[in-house]
Amino acid sequence: MLKAAREFAAKEFAGHRYLMVLHDHQANPHVHLSVRATARDGSRLNPRKTDLHRWRETFAEKLRGWGVEAEASRQSTRGENRRFDELWRVKARSEGRLSNDSRPAKSGGRHMASRAGALQAWANITKALQSSEHPEDRALARDIEGFVRGSAWLRDWARSRGRQITGLEQSTTVSRGEAPRSERDVDIRR
């Protein structure tokens, strides 16, 4: 892991000073990497979401180069709908100071578009596999349907609509514009 982290940092943070430390004393070994924002040439590191995803992909690639199985798939592709708590919320909860512990699920236009795009892609893959003459392809199509039906995001969407998803074809209704309420709708209702 440390060798992969070194290769990653050398590629992504060339011109910046950085340091790293490997923590392997816990159940999940990991590397902490601290990067100086200002490079030697005076430019500043200002990462965007696309940069963060590229970093994840690059690090996974470096890990695979050292024989460690790693992927950097997006939440929408995996059917996830997680939103991680801010550090202040975690600390306040642990200290008993959090008065309102409810948080709305991820929503919004870009979130819906990425999830709908992923569902449509899974539906297209499934349709192609179902039409294959090879039984193992058709079995894979059934596995994909099960994966999509079991995805957290689709379950949350179906629950918000009072629906039960019985097949992948139904899940593509999300891509036709039906989507869970946005956080703004929830705020207005309050």
Q: What is the pLDDT of residue 27?
A: 83
d(CA 104, CA 6): 38
Q: What is the pLDDT of residue 165?
A: 60
Residue among 11, 8, 39 nearest 20 (CA)? 8
Would you write out the chain's pLDDT as a tens digit for each of its 190 residues? 899 999 999 999 999 999 999 998 878 888 999 999 999 999 999 999 889 989 999 999 999 999 999 888 777 677 676 667 778 888 888 888 887 766 655 666 776 777 778 888 888 888 999 999 999 999 999 988 888 887 777 776 666 666 666 555 444 444 444 444 433 333 333 2
The domain segmentation of the chain, as residue ranges, is: 2-72, 87-189
∠ CA(76), CA(68), CA(62), 5° rounding?
75
Q: What is the pLDDT of residue 145?
A: 86
Q: What is the pLDDT of residue 169?
A: 46
CB of 73 within 8 A of CB of 80? Answer: no
